[in-house]
Amino acid sequence: MIADWTDEAVSGFETRIVRTRHRLHERPMFADEGLARILELYPREALGAFTMGEDLEDWGSWVRGNVQGLSGDQLLRAVHEGRLWLNLRHANAHLPEFGDLCAEIAEEKQQRLATRILNRDLGLLISSPGARVFFHLDVPLSSLWQVRGEKRIWFYPRREPYVSDAWIERCVLRTAEGQAPFRAEWDADATTFAMLPGDMTTWPQNMPHRVDNGPMLNVSLSMEFMTPRALRRARVLHANGVLRRSLGWTPKVQEAPGPRLAAKLAFHAAHRLLNKGSRAPILPERFRITAEGKRVAA
């Protein structure tokens, strides 16, 4: 599936921004007919539909919508014509062909990278011309596979002033939906490049980034996953977030084995056991798409 597993790509996994080429864009399932069929089959209650403004510093303009009742054809037409970003999370759990595709990707990564690929979430992103995703970070590791269209991605250093440990902890604790404060002048410090069909990139865990679409429909796969190392980091950040919020501590992230790491992993396990339960989406529904493709207030 990956056309060029170079030594640099393998050695840089989890520690650097890695860019490779893939062959997924050659598969017919991502043509309009295939996308409409996928959208028809994917459960509406699981589908994330968003629109956004132009100001990169205004995270409040990124809002969630309701697409209940739309057919696959109607929804795809709305994406072609509107300013929408559709996120079909966990497509591997809802659609058998994506389950097979996720297993294929994970198996290749495991063989090439000599690690386990855990907590797999293969999502399909279908987005409008000119749509964008604002400055944010992901809790797991991620890889982005460009299938159709062109987008540009910016990566920012994983340190202050771009992002703080406290903000990463908020994302891990799900009191922020990945979003973080942004300043336009930070672009001068970003690593940026275009993503064309057949491009894949992956980056260090929790690294802030943002995305702008070109003037055409975009289709990408986003695979979020954990390795044992990434899962350990997420659990430490969870423990740190609880300690900061509850006791006012300013804890550090432990990477190396030792008593502090073991204590935080045990604390995380106990806290999760005592605080089970699902969480409502952070962003409420602010609009809905009509059968005619119009966006109206929810």
> CA 103 → CA 111, 117, 250, distances in Å?
12, 10, 39
Confidence band (pLDDT; 50, 70, 90) for 278?
A: low
> CA 128 → CA 63, 131, 236, distances in Å?
15, 5, 37
- pLDDT (0 to 100) of residue 98: 97
Q: What is the DSSP annotation of 168-228?
A: HHHHHTTSS-SB----GGGGGG-EEEEE-TTEEEEE-TT--EEEEE-SS-EEEEEEEEE-H
Kindly give the interhelix angle for 32-41 and 72-81, rounded to the nearest 10 degrees: 120
- DSSP reduced 3-state for 38: helix
pLDDT in tens, 38-76: 999 999 999 999 999 999 999 999 999 999 999 999 999
Q: Which helix (H) or strand (E) holds 85?
A: strand 85-88
Show the domains of the chain with their CATH numbers: 7-226 (2.60.120.650), 228-276 (no CATH)
Please answer whether residues 165 and 208 qualify as being in contact, where contact means their C-beta atoms are separated by less than 8 angstroms.
Answer: no
- pLDDT (0 to 100) of residue 256: 81
Please answer whether residues 213 and 126 qualify as being in contact, where contact means their C-beta atoms are separated by less than 8 angstroms.
Answer: no
pLDDT in tens, 72-113: 999 999 999 989 999 999 999 999 999 999 999 999 999 999
pLDDT in tens, 163-201: 999 999 999 998 877 788 999 999 999 999 999 999 999
Which backbone phi and psi does 161 adopt, to 5 degrees? -85, 0
> CA 127 → CA 42, 80, 109, 115, 168, distances in Å?
16, 8, 27, 32, 26
What's the rounded Cα separation, in Å, for the pair 162 and 283? 23
Q: Which helix (H) or strand (E) holds 8?
A: helix 7-12
- pLDDT (0 to 100) of residue 215: 97
Q: Any residues with CB less than 8 A from the CB of 71 and at least 6 apart, and which? A: 36, 40
Other CB atoms within a 10 A radius of the CB of residue 6 amount to 12
